[in-house]
Every structure is written in C-alpha cells, then in structure tokens.
Chain A
Amino acid sequence: MSDPLFRTEGLTKRYGGLTAVSRVRLELREGELVGLIGPNGAGKTTCFNLITGADLPTEGCIRLRGADVTGTRPFHMARLGVARTFQNIRLWKEMSVLDNVRTVCVAGGRSGFWSGVLRLSSYRIAEQSIRERSEALLARMGLEGVAGERAADLPYGDQRKLEIARALALAPRILLLDEPAAGMNPAEKADLMHTVREIRREFALTILLIEHDMKFVMGICERIYVLDHGEEIAHGTPDEIRKDPKVIEAYLGGSAG
C-alpha cells in the first residue's frame, strides 16, 4: 500500500481559548490540484502556516510520504519540497525581479562562502546555471521583460506571478498558493487559471490552493476541502461541494451555530 504524498492527521491549532483549526484531515495525492475554501476566518491560512512549519500545531501531525514531519523548521520544510506564496504578497521588495528568483534558486547546488567571495570558477558555473534557470522561470510566468525592475515597482498582478516564479525556483513537489487570484481582473484570472494548470503539468506539481473566487476554484480543482470555524465541513469534487447543504449554509445562511 502506498502512502499519499501529503497528509495531515487531526491537525489542530489553538490560540489561547480560540481554536483556529480543529482536527483537520487533508490529503494530497501525487499530481492533484486541490482547493481549500471557506468563509473569512475559517482557518485556511492557519492551515498553510501549520503545513509549512511557520506555526506549530497544538495537536495532530503532518506526514510527507508517510514520514512524520511535524515540527520541522520552515526552511527545512521548504527544502523538503513544500513551497508557498503569500496572501499578502511578501516579495523582497528592494531586490530586482531576477534577484527575487535567483535568491531562492538552488540550481547547481549551494555554492560555498569562499567560492563566492573569491569568485572561483565553481562559483561562476553555479551562478550561470542559477541565472539561466531563473530567467527560464521568469519567462514561464511572462515576466522576462521586467527582470531588471525592482520587485516593488511591478503592477499587482505581476507581483503575484513573481511570487509563483519564486516558489517554483525551489523546485518544489507541493505548491501552496494562498489566494493567487486576489485583486486580479477576470481576464487575468482566466490567464492565471491556465498558467496554474500548465505549471502543474510541466513541473510535476501537486497543488493546494486557497481562493475566494468560486469560479476559479470550481473551474480548476479536482477536489475541494471546505473549512468553517476551523473545522472541515465538507470535502469532495466541485459538483459535490456545490450541492452540499452545509457549504451552502456556511456561505449563504451564515448563522454561526
């Protein structure tokens, strides 16, 4: 029997008396594109923080290919192949667009301190492959024309694309997208939907995404988890979710009981 690529068991996070996430069980199989939805404050971003190690769960565990990785530090989790983008864009604003990607890119291995300081040939070779790979990623996201710009000067939609390019530079297995379409117009959203599908295939990714735009989520995801008040209230295919009475109530009925 094979373990799923990724899975959480009884994932719970309490802040004092407030339970932000309660006994959540998520599962991602290789190559899936899964949505995580729910009203504001449902605990979606908290889930991302727990998965990436940015926050420690109060209870429960996180498994990557069956191995327990709960409590792994964020940079280590990222190196294990879990990359993310941020709801409130967190680019390195003062750096160039290219440098945002280059900094994360590990093509050619991590070059050492002395080879960088003394500009040894091993460093130049590593730098060259980093640059080529970074430029290819920028081109993939349609940002090749702005590689030299300061990240903060990019329009909003391009900043979101740059966040994806930067996450891809980690060569991740799992990509977590936190509201990738927020603030985009319908044309940009359609474009992004297309891009997300494409990069999944090209980079053999498994994608979990948080999104408020139902059209976007329903149109792109194979399975959807719905959270409300930190609990999983439904999960299934987009068709099943659309018809689920609990989901309809959480979104439309709205009384908190």
Chain B
Amino acid sequence: MSGELLWWLNLLVGVGIFTLLAVSLNLINGFAGMFHLGHHGFWAMGAYAAAWLTRECAGSLPGPLLYVATLGFGMAVAAAGGLAVGIPCLRLRGDYLAIATLGFAEIVRIAIQNLPQETLGGSLGMPVARVLMAVGPDTMVAFRGLTLLIATAACSLVILLIRNYIRSAQGRRLLAVAQDETAASLLGIDPTRPKVVAFVLGASVAGLAGALFAHFQGFITPLDFQFMEMVKMFLIVVLGGMGSLSGCVVGAFLVIATEQLLNRAPEAIAEWWQVEFPLLLALMIVFRPQGIFGRREIGDLFRRKARA
C-alpha cells in the first residue's frame, strides 16, 4: 500500500521538477522564440551547485535553512551560467544557437564527469546529504510528500512570476523582438536585452529544478543530465503548446507518467522509451507545427544526433 503511494509521490515530484524545466524552456523557446537546446546543462549546474553547497555546509547550518540556501545557490549558479552563455550566443540564430547551447550543456556534463573525483564525484556520482529531514524507510512517505509540497509551491510561484513577466511591459518587448526583431529595434526596443533577461531567467528556474532534484534523489551522477532529458523537456513543451504555461503542467504529467509506467513494464518494453519519446516529438512537430521554428531544423538536428 505504501509502496503504491511512494510510487505516486515519486511520479508527482518528477512532474513538478519537469514542469519547472518545461516552463522555463518555454519562456526561452516558446515566448522569446530562441532555439535553445542546452537546458539540461543549466539543470545540471543547479543540481551540482546545490550538492556542492550541501557538502560544504552540512552541519554548520540548520538543515531546512541549508536546504533553502542551496535552492537559491543552484538558481544563482545556473543564472550565472545563463549570462555567460547568453551574452555571446544570443546573437546566433536558429540552429546555430541550438548547436552552441547544446554544446554548452555537453561541456558542463563532461566537465563534471572528468573533474577529479573529490570535486564533484566524477562519473561515480555525488551523494547529497539529507538536510531537509531524516530519511529512512519509516519517513520516506513524509519526505516525498514534503518535497512534493515544496515542488508544487515552487511551480506555482514560478508560473505566476513568468506569467507576470510575459504580460508586463518588458514581456511585451520580448514578444515584439521574437516576432519581428527589425521592427522592434527601429521602434526603440533594444533587441538584445529582453532576450538575455529571458534566457537568464529561464536558466535560473532550471537551476532551481536541479537543486530540488538533487535533494530529492539524494545522489546525482552526470548520467542524470544527458541529452535525452532535454528531449523530454522539449516534448513536454511541444505537447503542451509553445507559448502556453499551463500546457507545460499537462505535458509534464503526460510525459513523466508515461515514462514511469514504462519503467514498471517488463524490461524489453521499458527500454523503448528512448525511441518512443524522440519519435513522439518528431510526430508532434510534423502534425502540429505551431512551434516557432520550422520542422526542417528539428529534423536536421535529430538526424545529426542519430549519427553522432
């Protein structure tokens, strides 16, 4: 009975984390009209930043306080990453930006993997001490329930703030730049600024998702942040609708639930999700091409990926 409950809690926390990732990806790709494929890099930065701070400060701060501090730290590190990538790369367009951001995310992952093991755990992974509360067989349900509560609050807050941003004067300028950059700049709108703001904001939310993920898992490895995770986020955004925040919640639930159900299936079937998700994504884009970018770019990208 409690096994079933644990399974559901696990699923819903996953939905929460992927809602954060999808909403922030949607801000960058859907609203700002950029073709960014390195969101898993910001996610990894947030997770590892939180894990690092937890290790360095464990014992010196009360647990729940440290937990909150690591969430903020994960956001800050990912935002700094977003700024560092954003300023040079946002001049790139279309699939050039996609390749640059994808390259960045791979660099993050491979760097973590190849740093000396005592830094961030290398390819063996890194434990994240339980600071929110003690976690054991008896308290597992409480821990997952509490995490779900925190994730839900984070999602609500982030969706509200992004919605406010989109509807504010700054958000209108972002949409104007996304729709017609030349017209925007000739009407007094600096085309770079709103894009950098949206990119950094999106990166920081991915960092928050990473920090939540690190604490929830209790153990992270570079394998948690592979390109397949980016495909999942992308699928959620396309499924829910480019430029729809609530769509992200629905999309996250559908995708994560499918994944978890497949995980329960016999191994022969479970293995197939790596094929099914990209296939579903390709089909969505062929038959519902309301996305910002043409299907050619997406198609090309996956062909490239398949060969690599």
Contacts and interface: CB of A to CB of B under 8 A. Distances in A.
B179 interface: yes
Interface footprint category on A: 35 or more
Residue from B161, B176, B188 with most neighbouring chain A CB atoms (10 Å): B188
B197 A95 contact: no
B170 interface: yes
B219 interface: no
B190 interface: yes
B164 A95 contact: no
B179 A92 contact: yes
A235 B73 CA distance: 65
Contacts of B190: 75
Interface of chain B, main secondary structure: helix
B182 interface: yes
Contacts of A75: 184-191
A170 B187 contact: yes
B82 interface: no
A73 B185 CA distance: 8
Contacts of B179: 92-95
Nearest to B197: A113
A52 B176 CA distance: 18
B294 to A, nearest CB: 17
A110 B187 CA distance: 14
Contacts of A87: none
A115 B188 CA distance: 21
Interface residues of B, number: 24
A219 B207 CA distance: 62
Given A92-B179, A93-B179, A95-B179, A116 B168 contact: yes
Contact of A166 (B170, B173, B187): B187
A54 B161 CA distance: 34
A126 interface: yes
A257 to B, nearest CB: 35
Interface in B156-196: 161, 164-165, 168-173, 175-176, 179-180, 182-191
A218 interface: no
A141 to B, nearest CB: 16
A74 B186 contact: yes
A92 B183 contact: yes
B176 A54 contact: no
A108 B182 CA distance: 25
A120 to B, nearest CB: 11
A122 to B, nearest CB: 12
A140 B197 CA distance: 34
Given A90-B180, A92-B180, A102-B172, A119 B164 contact: yes
Given A90-B182, A117-B161, A170 B171 contact: no
Interface string A62-86: 0000000000011100110001101
A111 interface: yes
B172 A99 contact: yes
A167 interface: yes
A170 B182 CA distance: 16
A52 B187 CA distance: 10
A117 B168 contact: yes
Interface string A122-165: 01001100100000000000000000000000000000000000
Given A90-B180, A103-B189, A170-B187, A116 B165 contact: yes
Contacts of B173: 103
A193 interface: no
A78 B176 CA distance: 15
A116 B171 contact: yes
A194 B190 CA distance: 33
Contact of A74 (B171, B176, B180, B185): B185
Given A54-B182, A92-B176, A92-B183, A116 B169 contact: yes
Contact of A83 (B161, B176, B187): B187
Contacts of A95: 172, 175-176, 179
A106 interface: yes
A113 B204 CA distance: 15
A75 B170 CA distance: 15
Contact of A117 (B165, B176, B183): B165
A73 B188 CA distance: 10
Nearest to A48: B186
A90 to B, nearest CB: 4
Nearest to B168: A116
Contact of B175 (A92, A111, A127): A92
Contact of B186 (A54, A106, A116): A54
A190 to B, nearest CB: 28
The 8 closest A-B pairs by CB, nearest first: A116-B168, A78-B188, A90-B183, A103-B172, A74-B185, A75-B185, A92-B179, A104-B187
11 contacts: A74-B186, A75-B184, A75-B190, A83-B187, A91-B183, A94-B175, A103-B172, A103-B184, A104-B188, A117-B165, A166-B187
Given A79-B188, A113-B165, A130-B169, 20 more contacts: A54-B185, A54-B186, A75-B187, A75-B189, A90-B180, A90-B182, A92-B176, A92-B183, A92-B184, A99-B172, A104-B189, A106-B188, A110-B169, A111-B168, A111-B170, A117-B161, A118-B164, A123-B169, A170-B187, A170-B188
